[in-house]
Structure 1
Amino acid sequence: MNHVVLIGRLVRDPELRHIASTGRAVANFTIAVDRNLSRDKKAEYQQKGIPTADFIRVNVWGRQAETSAQYLAKGRMVAVEGAITTGSFKTNTGETRYTTEVTANHVEFLERSDSPGRSGSYSDPSMEYDPGDFSNASADLDDDEVPF
């Protein structure tokens, strides 16, 4: 089974393009996924110049590609669910280069932007939650008024 779930932050804004023959949208972006290290080990690795994150290239297709390109931006945290795809190509000098990337089935935006009107950000006021709205709701209801 080839199934991967990653959580990370975008390294740069997504690049959106459309396939000429079909018009289908594809977005490409890279996410930085932190390695599972203790705080001390992470500090030690950083001092030695050893990477503490992996940079994973992601491809997403169709409507999700368009949505990702519209609402995601550098630094935003996302969850990506999909499959690992490998490939290879020959360079002009004849060297074979190998690629590994994730083809996403689902991209989940894990945080909302607090800067409305900013390109690449998304904020839906109808989705905001204020726990204070519900804290005393049950105190005002009688058992006969509960609909279930």
Structure 2
Amino acid sequence: MLNVVALMGRLVADPELRHTPQGLSVTTFTIAVDRSYARPGEQRQADFIDIVCWRGTADFVCKYFQKGSMIAIDGSIQTRTYQDKNGNNRKAFEIVANNVHFAGAKNANGNTGGGYANAQPEYTREAPPAAAPSFAIGNNDDFSVIDDEGEDLPF
């Protein structure tokens, strides 16, 4: 069986870190994912997808991401059932994130999604390489003519 999900979207609210009675870190949040198509004359619609992160992934998300941050997630779909306030059985679908990644470009302040820019290395642009020599067609000064009609060929 295969249960793999890859999503990229924006957080609709700041994630909040919680802990289970056993001390495990957990956070749940929702991302808005734009659909890949739009009807002519209409804006592109978005789907709002619930995400769950555990342990170090939860700590990472709460530290570096906030509302509006672009995030890329890979994980799996999980379903759970519960009873609402009226006693009706309900089913919820959510994505359990295995990995999360920064997906947004740097903003006007030079920061990425949650202040992570300070940990990124800075790169300097190197000088362009020297131009390669050009070899014009018909320039035979570096070559000598071989007489291939000789009798001393080994074959």
Q: Of the two, which has the highest radius of gyration?
A: 2
Question: What amino acid maps onto 1:139 in structure 2?
Answer: A
Instruction: Quote how far apart the aligned CAs of 1:15 are.
Output: 1.5
Consecutive unaligned residues of structure 1, counting only runs of 5 or more, are 141-148
Q: Aligned residues: percent identity?
A: 39
In the TM superposition, 1:66-81 aligns within 5 A as 66-81=59-74
The secondary structure found in structure 1 opposite 2:57 is helix
Distance in 1, matches of 2:40 and 2:62, equals 32
If asked which structure has higher relative contact order (CA below 8 Å, sep 6+), I would say 1
| RMSD of aligned Cα (Å) | 2.6
- Counterparts in 2 of 1:81-96, with a 5 A limit? 81-96=74-89
Q: How do 1:98-113 residues align onto structure 2 when only pairs under 5 Å count?
A: 98-111=91-104, 112=106
Work out which of the residue numbers 120, 126, 138 in structure 2 matches 1:134.
Answer: 126
TM-score normalised by L of structure 2: 0.72
Structure 1 residues 115 and 24, CA, compared in 2 at 3 Å: closer, same or farther? farther
- Write the deviation string for residues 53-72 of structure 1: whole angstroms up to 9, x where unpaired: 10001011111110110110
SS in 2 for 1:58: strand
> Larger % of helix: which?
1
- Distance in 2 between the 1:55 and 1:61 partners? 20
Q: CA deviation at 1:122?
A: 2.2
Runs of 4+ in 1 over 3 A off after TM superposition: 112-117
TM-score, normalization: structure 1?
Answer: 0.75
- Total equivalences in the alignment: 128
